[in-house]
Amino acid sequence: MPVNEGFVPKIQVFEPHRASLPPLIPYLREFWTRRAFASELARFGDKAEYLDSRLGKVWLVLNPLLLGMVYYLVVTIIRPGGSVSGMTRLDHLLIGLFTFYFAQNCVTAGALSITSGGRLILNQAFPRALLPFSSAIQSFQQFLPTIPVYIFVLVAGKWAYPTTIVPGWTWNFLWIPFILICTGLTGFGLALVFATLNVYFRDTTKLLTYITRIWMYLSPVLWLPSSLRGNMKILLWINPLGPVLNATSRVWVSGESLTQPIILGCILWAVASIVIGGYFFISRERDFAIRL
């Protein structure tokens, strides 16, 4: 074979597979092989985003913290008192908001990832799902600094108000990685749906602004899961983030373990989002280069 030394023959065959999935095993293998591309893209995306900002990455912490304060004021003015103490409400609101924003950022940044990566898509062949995946990684990296902020608020709250209930060390905290994985997978799966829609309808991201706002009001962030009565409890299950935010509140704020229905809810929404989003995205991704 008249090819250069060290060349390993690699036959690639490109055939029509319109409106159906490409062979999944090679696709997933290539996705996995190029995972470093997604993580570096996330790292550089983060770097580029905060390059011109004087406060830089401090905004990653300040932004959700300030939002938490704003929502706390809104919630305490609208519905002062209640069955739980103010600090416990603040703790629930903060960790709920941070987790919700992690998922929301996965979706909103992921929705833009294909249209904003147009030139890369027109020049290189790679599994396109790497772009929303990179957005999910970036969202996770932006979520991480909020954890010490939450812990700081928790400790400061206990110091200022000794009656505040703070969970001591418990093995139930081991559920946190599970919650974060489920949140990330659900966010990534939904990002795949909205990234595809945004290629076909360029106003999807505008609509997403309203969807995410309504989504937050319907999620146990500004209200406690235990405050729902009767049929309203269904909100915790029909909302893709309902189970993970319920789990977040239980573990982070109360130090409680997860119940079987909550665990199942988290897993089902994560799997459903990935399967539905993945099918929707991958079956259409060869069309992206034409649409961009």
Site of interaction with another protein (CB under 8 A):
1-4, 7, 9-18, 22-23, 26-27, 30, 33-34, 36-37, 40-41, 44-45, 47-48, 51-52, 117, 119-127, 197, 200-204, 207, 286-287, 289-290
- Shortest separation between residue 145's beta carbon and another protein, angstroms: 21
Q: Which is nearer to another protein, 53 or 227 (CB)?
A: 53
- Shortest separation between residue 282's beta carbon and another protein, angstroms: 11
**C-alpha span between 205 and 194 (Å, rounded):** 8
The residue among 74, 65, 101, 79 whose CA lies nearest residue 227 is 79
- Do 50 and 59 touch, CB atoms closer than 8 A? yes
Q: Which is nearer to another protein, 191 or 262 (CB)?
A: 191
- Shortest separation between residue 144's beta carbon and another protein, angstroms: 22
**C-alpha span between 93 and 87 (Å, rounded):** 10
- Shortest separation between residue 201's beta carbon and another protein, angstroms: 4
- Shortest separation between residue 143's beta carbon and another protein, angstroms: 22
Phi, psi dihedrals of residue 92, rounded to the nearest 5° = -60, -45
Phi, psi dihedrals of residue 228, rounded to the nearest 5° = -80, 140
Q: Which is nearer to another protein, 202 or 233 (CB)?
A: 202
Residue 218, classed as helix, strand or coil, is coil
Residue with tokens 């000794």: 162
Q: Which is nearer to another protein, 17 or 233 (CB)?
A: 17
Burial classification of residue 52, based on how many CB atoms lie within 10 Å of its CB (0-12 exposed, 13-18 middle, 19 or more buried)? exposed
**C-alpha span between 103 and 99 (Å, rounded):** 7
**C-alpha span between 202 and 33 (Å, rounded):** 31
- Shortest separation between residue 78's beta carbon and another protein, angstroms: 32
- Looking at residue 168, the DSSP 8-state letter turns out to be -
Q: Which is nearer to another protein, 205 or 226 (CB)?
A: 205
Q: Which is nearer to another protein, 7 or 159 (CB)?
A: 7
**C-alpha span between 17 and 19 (Å, rounded):** 6
